[in-house]
Structure 1
Amino acid sequence: MENKKELRNWLNKMELAHPLVIAGPCSAETEEQVLNIAHQLKDTDATVLRAGIWKPRTRPGNFEGVGALGLKWLQRAKNETGMLITTEVASPTHVDLAQKHDVDIFWIGARTTVSPFIVQEIAEALRGTDKPVLIKNPVNPDLALWLGAVERFYEAGVSNLGVIHRGFSTYEKTRYRNNPEWQIPIDLQNRFPDLPLILDPSHIAGRRDIIFDLCQTALDLNYDGLMIETHNDPDNAWSDAAQQITPETLDQITVDLRIRKEEGDAVEFRNKLATLRTKIDVVDHKLLEILGKRMKISDEIGKLKKDNNVAILQTRRWNEILGKMILEGEEQNLSEEFVLRIYKAIHQESINHQKKVISN
């Protein structure tokens, strides 16, 4: 697949910056709002104006978009500013209407990506288009489902394909609205290194104060672009107010971001090294998160043992764990000595947690 090459050719042809910056409101609310934002964005690094026209909401009763009327507003913004325009399409009808209003880029939303039937219908509606189609990850952390959606468009003759990483839903409360699960897009990059990858930090963050850090991590991981929700009056936005930023803030973010450029062997080495180190940082964060979850389970076991007057150390169980982990470690090319050191440390921390629970 030469999708990344195709997208970069498209960027060069349209004289767009790389990395690509897509910005605009979560929802098109009024014509005045869309035009106001577009005119503020035209002097920033953003070259594509985004706005939700049809808004699939988790529960009924929330603002679900202005519908096809908003396409006329986007079209006018395009004519007045010269920016390209993009919106989410969730059905063949949306595709038809968007095409009639000169939409330049289509994106497939996270709730749509989870349904192969709907994805197939949209892929057929866009069959053979030379316009870029960007596919958001499904709401659940399922790499195969994400790749399956990509493959359906690719098989429909859509050559300008890319993906958008917007994070994954979880029942657990974290600092993010949607957990980034960086390892999943990293796995996608490893499987399909030529597939352009764009970050949607707004939906991952759920709040504006950590958007910059997410953008920087994405660029350190060699992402090809950013899609950032930008509003002229974020606090009074009709949808997702907390995660939107002003055009002025967007402008400052793009100035402050460290963007690596390919300018020779030494620079290429540093770039690759920085990317690999960022990948290690992502995995290390995940390791600590998993270990924290394991210790919470140990706390629950400690409480259960206390209530039933059972000793903390269960030697038979411990030996079973060690034997199983040594075998699984071999499959991951990890030495027995390393696995023993790691799991003895984990076991000791688990004992400490249970002691604390029992002594209280």
Structure 2
Amino acid sequence: MTYQLDIQPCPEWNLFTRLQRPLVIAGPCSAESEEQLFETATLLKNNGIEVLRAGIWKPRTRPNCFEGIGMKGLPWLQHIQKTLGLKISTEVANAHHVEAALKHDIDMLWIGARSTANPFAVQEIAEALRGVDIPVFVKNPVNPDIELWIGAFERLYLRGIKKMGAIHRGFSSYNSARYRNTPQWQIPIELKRRVKQLPLFCDPSHIGGHREYIQEISQKAMDLGFDGLIVESHVHPDCALSDAAQQITPVQLKEILEHLVIREAHPNNSANHLIIEELREKIDTLDSSIMEALTNRMKIIEEIGLYKKENNITILQPDRWESILSRVTEEARENNLPVELVERVFKAIHQASIDRQTDIMNKKELGA
């Protein structure tokens, strides 16, 4: 059973509307000392940031790593909240964390990727948040499972949490070629399609894994219409006790934000609107042609399936499939199309063809 999530608008999402830029949440990966946290927060505020993030409890992959300073860091955040006027946020992974954070008036909470992947943990957090009216962010699970991600929002929603936001931090992979986590942008895009009113944030620090990628990943998120960014920023990033390579100074963050190009969600005048609509009509026509071609192709596949069944021929013909794949990838190169895209499309078509022929092969005759 699924639920229509009635996500309520939250004033915090619009903090930066007047500045014509997305909501940016920034701060160190971990609160390490009161001095480090206060100095970072002061510089962030001086550079235009209004929401501070800092990890208090850090779920580390291996034991004997720095796992956060724990409870004693919460008064530090609260002091910053009262002294500098910043809103404060931190990660929670269980009911104990939630209760401690709420006692210290934390403005926003987020659920980390490891916790999102555990429905038991999300349910425990949801129960602890019952009746609480603060924004709650949910990072995507470590694995690319959109249903698990949506399920986390549903668990919170069923316990009365209506102010929610999604954080895209990429997905773990055994051998990531460039970034620390594979972005797989199609997954947050699909999340936004299915839960339209859900604010969508990008975590370029965890996607990239290194500070040199933060600019390009942040720009990609803005190009896709993300609502905001959550960036790791440390006053002395190279000395950070966790994730040092992916943190930037508050000044570097300001420079990145100043160079971001913020796209409009819709055409800003009637002339641009007409141009886009004309081009979209052409795309719609081509899409109809593609659908017609796929329909006709599948009809021929059904004929082939029936023939193979009648003549006891195997469904998979490796040589034929190799020939098709070689032909279409060569045509892709000749037409300057991404080969990877063409391969994905035709592999999906080929699998659908196999599935259809399998249905035909195993379908019993009437009366048999």
TM-score tier, shorter chain, comes to 0.7 to 0.9
SS at structure 2 position matched to 1:57: coil
Question: 1:308 maps to what in 2?
Answer: none
2:163 to 160, 165, 170: 160
Question: 2:106 maps to what in 1?
Answer: 103
Contact in 1 for aligned 2:78/2:104 (Cα 8 Å) = yes
Runs of at least 5 residues in structure 1 that lack an aligned partner in the other structure: 278-314, 326-339, 350-360
Give how far 1:128 is off.
Answer: 2.5
Q: Is structure 2 residue 247 aligned with structure 1 residue 244?
A: yes
Q: What do residues 250-293 of structure 1 show as CA deviations (whole Å, max 9, x unaligned)? A: 111111101135696428957x97xx99xxxxxxxxxxxxxxxx
1:11 to 5, 10, 13: 13
Question: 2:328 maps to what in 1?
Answer: 342
1:74 to 51, 72, 77: 77
Counterpart-to-counterpart distance in 2, 1:13 and 1:205? 26
Contact in 2 for aligned 1:199/1:225 (Cα 8 Å) = yes
SS at structure 1 position matched to 2:269: helix
Counterpart-to-counterpart distance in 2, 1:222 and 1:267? 21
Question: 1:115 maps to what in 2?
Answer: 118
Question: 1:233 maps to what in 2?
Answer: 236
Q: Is structure 2 residue 303 aligned with structure 1 residue 317?
A: no
Which amino acid is the alignment partner of residue 82 of structure 2? Answer: N
Q: Is structure 2 residue 30 aligned with structure 1 residue 44?
A: no
TM-score (norm 2): 0.73
2:185 to 182, 185, 190: 182
SS at structure 2 position matched to 1:107: strand
Give how far 1:129 is off.
Answer: 1.8
Taking structure 1 as reference, are residues 113 and 344 closer, same or farther at Cα in structure 2, changes over 3 Å only?
A: same
Counterpart-to-counterpart distance in 2, 1:182 and 1:89? 25
Counterpart-to-counterpart distance in 2, 1:61 and 1:27? 16
Give how far 1:235 is off.
Answer: 0.4
Give how far 1:125 is off.
Answer: 0.6
Counterpart-to-counterpart distance in 2, 1:178 and 1:260? 25
Give how far 1:344 is off.
Answer: 5.7
Question: 1:195 maps to what in 2?
Answer: 198
Q: Percent identity?
A: 51
Aligned CA-pair RMSD = 2.9
Question: 1:305 maps to what in 2?
Answer: none
Contact in 2 for aligned 1:322/1:343 (Cα 8 Å) = no
Counterpart-to-counterpart distance in 2, 1:269 and 1:200? 31
Question: 2:350 maps to what in 1?
Answer: none
Taking structure 1 as reference, are residues 317 and 12 closer, same or farther at Cα in structure 2, changes over 3 Å only?
A: closer
Give how far 1:127 is off.
Answer: 1.3
TM-score (norm 1): 0.75
Taking structure 1 as reference, are residues 208 and 124 closer, same or farther at Cα in structure 2, changes over 3 Å only?
A: same
Contact in 2 for aligned 1:21/1:45 (Cα 8 Å) = no
Contact in 2 for aligned 1:134/1:163 (Cα 8 Å) = yes
Counterpart-to-counterpart distance in 2, 1:250 and 1:268? 36
Counterpart-to-counterpart distance in 1, 2:194 and 2:89? 27
Q: How does 1:133-172 map to 2 (within 5 A)?
A: 133-172=136-175
After superposing the two structures, state which structure 1 stretch, 171-180 or 206-215, moved more: 171-180
Which amino acid is the alignment partner of residue 236 of structure 1? Answer: C
Which amino acid is the alignment partner of residue 98 of structure 2? Answer: V
Contact in 1 for aligned 2:15/2:23 (Cα 8 Å) = no
Structure number, greater radius of gyration:
2
Which amino acid is the alignment partner of residue 121 of structure 1? Answer: E
Counterpart-to-counterpart distance in 2, 1:125 and 1:16? 34
Q: Is structure 2 residue 117 aligned with structure 1 residue 131?
A: no
Q: What do residues 151-209 of structure 1 show as CA deviations (whole Å, max 9, x unaligned)? A: 11111110101110001100013110111111111111111121111000000111000
Q: Is structure 2 residue 194 aligned with structure 1 residue 208?
A: no
Contact in 1 for aligned 2:225/2:265 (Cα 8 Å) = no
Give how far 1:97 is off.
Answer: 0.5
Taking structure 1 as reference, are residues 168 and 269 closer, same or farther at Cα in structure 2, changes over 3 Å only?
A: farther
Question: 2:356 maps to what in 1?
Answer: none
Counterpart-to-counterpart distance in 2, 1:259 and 1:320? 44
Contact in 2 for aligned 1:262/1:268 (Cα 8 Å) = no
Which amino acid is the alignment partner of residue 96 of structure 1? Answer: E
Give how far 1:61 is off.
Answer: 0.6
Moved over 6 A (4+): 13-16, 346-349
Counterpart-to-counterpart distance in 1, 2:75 and 2:91? 15
SS at structure 1 position matched to 2:166: strand
Taking structure 1 as reference, are residues 124 and 228 closer, same or farther at Cα in structure 2, changes over 3 Å only?
A: same
1:56 to 44, 56, 59: 59
Q: Is structure 2 residue 73 aligned with structure 1 residue 87?
A: no
